[in-house]
Structure 1
Amino acid sequence: MLQKLAAGNHTVPFRGPFTITRVQPGDILGDETTDTAFGPLAIIDHAVMKKGLTINMHQHKNDEILSYISSGIMHHRDSAGFEASIARGKLMLMNAGAGFWHEEKVKEDDVQMLQIFIRPNETDLSPEIQFHNKLVDNEDWYVMVGPKGSEAPLYVRQHVYILDAHPSAGEVVDVPAYTGLTPFLYVMNGEITMQHLTIGKQEAITDVVNPLPPFIANEDTTIVLFFVDLNAPMSMDGTISGWKN
């Protein structure tokens, strides 16, 4: 059965130059779970960062963090000595492990982005950072992230895949399936219809039994699609991902 997570469920823990809409994926399961995570998919922070913002150097532990930018440029600096400008089409994945420090600045236009927090399969793994340049505005699915050892260009230390697609208005899109993994489809921008349900910006849909059916894009839309092992072993010691009601 299709289950929808409405935008009205989300909290906004920060407002102002750094505004975060915090999506707790486990809320889509309602009373079926007491965890706010969807297996190891812990939190999706849908953020807007205003021009001139600096987020000073701070530490994460035991979080696997994908930065996915829809618009604007974020300037990154970290404890590993990397400095990079992250923009639409350039992905950054921080595998915080035992400890990783980073700082972010917005010097030009406002940034809209997702910070996606995944619980790793073990505590205190080695800290690492990865970058990847991907297609921009791909209408078909693009595999961005997968488990370590998979063919995905970026890896997490967990049984999770992350894909994106940018269907145009009126396009009918088939949703892939990964054997043994449960889908969680998030609309970053735009709107789709799946069977009888309309899913708009900052909303999500899942089916914990069956593959997701095709959908139609009601307008130009950005989709981020997760496949998750709901029963995967995971660390609960993450700075952000370990948070639990």
Structure 2
Amino acid sequence: MTLSLRPAAARGHAEHGWLSSRHTFSFADYFDPAQMGFRTLRVINEDWVAPQTGFGTHPHRDMEILTYVIAGAVAHKDSTGGEGIIRRGEVQVMSAGTGIRHSEMNPLADETLHLLQIWILPEAQRLPPRYDQAVFDDEDKRDRLRLIASRDGREGSLVLHQDASVYAAILSPGQRLSHDLGAGRGAWVQVVAGALAVNGHVLSAGDGLAIENEAAVSLASENGAEIVLFDLG
């Protein structure tokens, strides 16, 4: 069995005034050759965006991009015509493919936007760009692993062009959950809020854990927690 903890405090940090960002893996000016991603998971950025500011129009290519809103709202607009406001309980996916330009802004005047920006490497290059979003509210994630993104879009999840299944869960105090891993698969658990034990390791908000050569992922929380779990081929 192989378990590798990525503590919240060890993450890269960027401070831009309007944006405070923590980088689980190498990103932009933060580079650590030992932290280049996990399997096809390439980026987990935890961002806090000040009111009525954000990321102006910028390009991406050949990446599957998930936005998981923790608090506040993000206004999205892209060159495919995709446009919308995503709030807590909603997730968006964008396939950058052959090239896409988009902006992500905090439209609120009095609330900081808090989100996870997640990049997953696609299974093929130069795919057609696309955008989608879906609602997975707190009750939908309560005390179960709710599938939010997958290769085949099963259970109403968003579609990813990769052999990856992404789950979100909100554990009540004292709750336990388990997720079986298929042969040769690995998992990454990212803690959004609270604290829990993952396969015997105690994790707190912002921590991540890479799991290899295990038959299952075991989750248990004394006081409650919110997590995102990646099941990766």
- Tell me the secondary structure at the aligned position of residue 186 of structure 1: strand
Give the aligned partner of residue 103 of structure 2.
Answer: 103
Give the aligned partner of residue 168 of structure 1.
Answer: 172
Letter in 2 for 1:165: A
Deviations 1:30-80 (A, max 9, x none): xxx956111110010111111121321111111110000011011111112
Give the aligned partner of residue 193 of structure 2.
Answer: 189
Letter in 2 for 1:121: E
- Tell me the secondary structure at the aligned position of residue 171 of structure 2: coil
- Aligned mates of 2:132, 2:189 — CA distance in 1: 24
- Are 2:146 and 1:142 aligned? yes
Give the aligned partner of residue 155 of structure 1.
Answer: 159
Deviations 1:73-130 (A, max 9, x none): 1111111222200011111100000111111221221111101001111211110111
- Aligned mates of 1:4, 1:147 — CA distance in 2: 27
- Aligned mates of 1:213, 1:148 — CA distance in 2: 22
Give the aligned partner of residue 181 of structure 2.
Answer: 177
- Are 2:60 and 1:60 aligned? yes
Deviation at 1:18, TM superposition (A): 1.2
- Tell me the secondary structure at the aligned position of residue 207 of structure 1: strand
Q: TM-score, normalised by structure 2?
A: 0.87
Letter in 2 for 1:222: E
Letter in 2 for 1:106: N
Larger strand proportion of the pair: 2
Deviations 1:158-204 (A, max 9, x none): 11110000001222222343444211111011111235421011112
Which 10-residue stretch deviates more, 58-67 or 146-155?
146-155
Q: CA RMSD in A?
A: 2.0
The answer to whether the Cα contact below 8 Å between 2:97 and 2:129 also exists between their aligned partners in 1 is: yes
- Aligned mates of 1:164, 1:179 — CA distance in 2: 22
Matches for 1:29-40 after TM superposition, within 5 Å: 36-40=36-40
- Are 2:80 and 1:80 aligned? yes
The answer to whether the Cα contact below 8 Å between 1:90 and 1:134 also exists between their aligned partners in 2 is: yes
Give the aligned partner of residue 19 of structure 1.
Answer: 20
- Aligned mates of 1:4, 1:125 — CA distance in 2: 33
The answer to whether the Cα contact below 8 Å between 2:186 and 2:232 also exists between their aligned partners in 1 is: yes
Give the aligned partner of residue 90 of structure 1.
Answer: 90
The answer to whether the Cα contact below 8 Å between 1:64 and 1:118 also exists between their aligned partners in 2 is: yes
Deviations 1:182-232 (A, max 9, x none): 111110111112354210111122331113452321322110000112xxx
Q: Which 5+ residue runs of structure 2 have no aligned equivalent?
A: 27-32
Query: How many aligned residue pairs are there?
Result: 222
The answer to whether the Cα contact below 8 Å between 1:206 and 1:212 also exists between their aligned partners in 2 is: no
- Are 2:130 and 1:121 aligned? no
- Aligned mates of 1:132, 1:169 — CA distance in 2: 27
The answer to whether the Cα contact below 8 Å between 1:183 and 1:211 also exists between their aligned partners in 2 is: no
The answer to whether the Cα contact below 8 Å between 1:183 and 1:212 also exists between their aligned partners in 2 is: no
Letter in 1 for 2:65: I
Runs of 4+ in 1 over 6 A off after TM superposition: none
Given the superposition, is the C-alpha separation of residues 47 and 40 from structure 1 closer, same or farther in structure 2, using an over 3 Å criterion?
same
Give the aligned partner of residue 133 of structure 2.
Answer: 131
